[in-house]
Amino acid sequence: MSETQHTSGLDGVAAAARQAPGRGLPPVHLWNPAHCGDIDIVIKRNGQWFHEGTPIGREALVRLFSTVLRKDPDGFHLVTPVEKMKITVEDAPFIAVRVDRDGEDLVFQTNVGDEVRAGPDNALRV
């Protein structure tokens, strides 16, 4: 059995994120675990993540959670191969904190360190 089949809760989030090579993302779109409840994590409008009312100060932990975040029709969830936990997002889960021009393209850096190139797959909305 794989490591993710033996873990649950936040340990499951960590195990799922380790499946991603480098800074790539785990295949959360392929996972269909049962919903197992809500977890008291809130992403505020300013992009800061909170757990049980306290800011999550470790950037690496926020990055880890961001890699297993998925938007479903009923809201945002942290998803592992075996669990799905609903969280609260006040506005948007990620904020652009920098923009650079690369030729004719705009490349944005998010508050969790990802780079996103604006285009047909990543349309700008204001």
Q: Do 74 and 117 share a structural domain?
A: no
CATH number at residue 25: 3.10.540.10
The per-residue pLDDT for range 45-71, each reduced to its tens digit, is 999 999 999 999 999 999 999 999 999
Range of the domain at 48: 3-89
Q: Do 63 and 37 share a structural domain?
A: yes
Q: Please check whether residue 82 is in contact with residue 12, taking contact to mean a CB–CB distance below 8 angstroms.
A: yes
Q: Do 100 and 118 share a structural domain?
A: yes
Low-confidence ranges of the chain (pLDDT < 50): 1-8, 20-21
Q: Do 117 and 78 share a structural domain?
A: no
User: Could you give the number of structural domains in the chain?
Assistant: 2
The structure's pTM equals 0.74
Q: Do 10 and 53 share a structural domain?
A: yes
